[in-house]
Structure 1
C-alpha cells in the first residue's frame, strides 16, 4: 500500500486524485480547508469500497499560513514512515497583494513557501520510499529572471503577472534543491494542457471569474480527465527533474545560474521565514 499526500485535496484536480488513489487501495492524506468537502469525497468513494474511509486522513489547514504548513509537516512526519507521492495542488487565486496575519504575501506563501516547507520538511519520508515522486502543479516555463531575490514577497511593484511568474520560477528551482538532496526523487512541475472544469477558488474581479466560468464550461475538461497524466507520473516515476503540460513532456528551462539561484532562493526563504517567526 502506497502513501499519497495531496494538498488541495478536497477540490478540483486534488479531489480527483484523492478519489483515484483511494479507489486503488492506497492510503491517502488529504490536506484542505473543508472537512465537509472531505466527508463528501469519502462518502462517494466508500459507496464503492467501504475500506476507503479507513485509508484516508484529513488534515485541515490554510496553506497560505506558514504555521499551518509547518503543523501539517510535523503531523505527517509523526504519523507516517514514508511518503511515496506528494501532489502539491492547493490553489487560491488573488489578483492583488494580500498580507496574511503572519506578515507574508498570501500568494507567495500558498504557491511557494508552503511547498518549500513540504518538500524540505518531508524529505526524510520521501527518501524512505522506493520510488518517490513530487508532482508540483506549477505551470513550467517561467523566465530565469522572474524572481526578485531582494524582495520575494513583493512589498513594492506587485502585479498578478509578476507574482505568477515568480512563483513558477521558484518552484522550478525548488526541484533543483529537492533532487540534489535526493537523486532518486522524481520532481515534476506540471500544468494542464487546457482549461479544467472545476470550482474557481480565489479573490478576483468579476471579469476574471465570469471568463473562467464561461470558458471552463465551454472548453474545460473534467478534473478526472485532467489528472490522468499526473496519475501516470505518480505510477511510473523517473528519477530527476521534469516538466509537463498535460501528457506532453517539455524541455526544462535551463540557465547559466540555475544552481546558484536555487541556493540563493533557499537562503532568501530561510531568512524570510526566520524574520517572520
Structure 2
C-alpha cells in the first residue's frame, strides 16, 4: 500500500536519497527544499517525488507549508526531519532567531507538533529525526542564551541542537507515533561545502576516505521507517540502538520555551 512520506531537507544528501528510495518504491513523497537548485536536483535524481519550496528557518514559511500539507494530505505516514545547515558564523532570520537554532530546533518542533494530527491518522506513523544523538560530545542547552548571542561557535550551536532534539523528542513521544532519533555519523553528503580553505580541502579528503556512501547510509533508516520500533521513542547511531535518558523536566521546560517563542508568530 502506498504511503505519504514528507521529507524536510529532501533535495540534498540523505533526504534526497530517501526521497528517491520511497518515490521509486511507489510511495507519495513530498520533498521540502528552499532553492531552485534543490528543485532541479530533485527533478534529476528523484523525478517521481513532489517538490514543495519553503525556507524552513522561517516560522512564517513553515506554517504556510504546514497548511498546504494538512489540506492536501489528511494522513501522513512518515515525517523525516533532515533539514540542516552548518552555519560558520552567527546570523539571524528575519524573525530574529539564530539560524542554526531556527532550523535545527524551532522547525523540528513546529513540523512534528503541527503535523501530529495527520500522523495520527496513519496506520503506522513514524517520525525519523536526523540529529546528533549519541554523539562524541553531549550538547548543552544554554538556557540563559539559547540564541547564542554571546560566544557563538558553529559546533556549539550544532551540539545544542543535538541535545535539544533529544529533549523535544522526549516531550513529544507517545502512542501511536513512533519517534526515532537517528545519528548517521559521517556520511558523504558534501559536508565540506560550508567550510573555508584550507579546512574545506581537509574535510573533503576525509569525506572521500572515511565517509559512508549515502546509498549505504540510508539502509538502516529505511528499515526503521518500514518496521518502526515498538517503543514510542528510540535512538540509533548508524543503525545501532543506544540507550539514552533525557531529563523529563528539562524536556518539558524546553518544549514550553519553544512554544512561547513560536506562538506570537502563529497569527
What is the TM-score with the length of structure 1 in the denominator?
0.87
Residue 249 of structure 1 aligns with which residue? 241
Q: How does 1:88-167 map to 2 (within 5 A)?
A: 88-141=81-134, 146-167=140-161
Residue 227 of structure 1 aligns with which residue? 218
Deviations 1:145-188 (A, max 9, x none): 71122321122232223212211111111111221xx3221111
Deviations 1:218-243 (A, max 9, x none): 22222111111110110000241111
Deviation at 1:57, TM superposition (A): 2.1
Given the alignment of the two structures, is residue 25 of structure 1 paired with residue 16 of structure 2, yes or no?
A: no
Among candidates 156, 163, 168, match of residue 169 of structure 1 = 163
Q: Distance in 1 between matches of 2:41 and 2:141?
A: 39
Deviation at 1:37, TM superposition (A): 3.6
Given the alignment of the two structures, is residue 61 of structure 1 paired with residue 46 of structure 2, yes or no?
A: no
8 Å contact 2:74–2:118 — kept in the other structure? yes
Residue 213 of structure 1 aligns with which residue? 204
Given the alignment of the two structures, is residue 38 of structure 1 paired with residue 39 of structure 2, yes or no?
A: yes
**In angstroms, what is the RMSD of aligned CA positions?**
2.1
Among candidates 174, 184, 188, match of residue 180 of structure 2 = 188
SS in 1 for 2:181: strand
Q: Distance in 2 between matches of 1:201 and 1:129?
A: 38
Residue 271 of structure 1 aligns with which residue? 260
Deviation at 1:198, TM superposition (A): 2.1
SS in 2 for 1:42: helix
Deviation at 1:215, TM superposition (A): 1.0
Deviation at 1:43, TM superposition (A): 4.2
Given the alignment of the two structures, is residue 178 of structure 1 paired with residue 179 of structure 2, yes or no?
A: no
Q: Distance in 1 between matches of 2:196 and 2:39?
A: 28
Moved more, 98-107 or 149-158: 149-158
Q: Distance in 2 between matches of 1:83 and 1:248?
A: 26
Going from structure 1 to structure 2, the CA distance change for 1:158 and 1:29 (only over 3 Å counts) comes to same
Deviations 1:27-50 (A, max 9, x none): 00100023444344334455xxxx
- Report the count of equivalent residues: 263
Q: Distance in 1 between matches of 2:41 and 2:33?
A: 13
The runs of 5 or more residues in structure 1 that have no matched partner are: 47-51
The runs of 5 or more residues in structure 2 that have no matched partner are: none
Deviation at 1:203, TM superposition (A): 4.1
